[in-house]
Amino acid sequence: ARLAHTPAERLLARPELPAARALAARGLPARTIDGFLRPLLAALLYDPDLTTSSRCADLALRAFAGGRLALPEGGAEALPEHMARSLPPGTVHTGVRVTSVATNAVTTAEHGV
């Protein structure tokens, strides 16, 4: 309940950690993490190992707890296409090899940063 009412700005200001480490550091029991949060985040973020950004996981859990999480027609598979349609042409490149990812940039072998 507390996460649902935390402003997104505060969640984004938290230290960046792998989601599993952040959840454990908050004192959540392993049973809660493995029995509830891991399956939920695996479904929401396709990350059963909880290696994704703790900020991303917090935002997904916040949206889920607030009851505002939904998928477009076509399901999760349609999300990248839906998001790309709202960006300027040439912004999204598919079929390229990513060499590194940062909070503010993605580097690919073909296009650089």
C-alpha to C-alpha distance for 29 and 35, rounded to whole angstroms: 10
Q: Do residues 65 and 1 make contact, with C-beta atoms less than 8 angstroms apart? A: yes
The number of CA neighbours under 13 Å toward the Cβ of 106 is 10
Torsion 51-13-40-92 (CA) sign: negative
Kindly indicate the confidence band of residue 35, based on its pLDDT and cuts at 50, 70 and 90: very high
Higher pLDDT, 79 or 19: 19
Domain locations along the chain: 3-65, 76-108
Per-chain mean pLDDT for the chain: 87
DSSP 59-95: HHHHHHHTT-----TT-GGGHHHHHHHTSPTTS---S
Kindly indicate the confidence band of residue 1, based on its pLDDT and cuts at 50, 70 and 90: low
What is the tens place of the pLDDT at every residue in 48-103? 899 999 999 999 988 888 876 677 788 777 888 888 888 998 888 788 899 999 88
In this prediction, residues 17-21 reach a mean pLDDT of 94
Amino acid at 29: P
In this prediction, residues 30-39 reach a mean pLDDT of 92
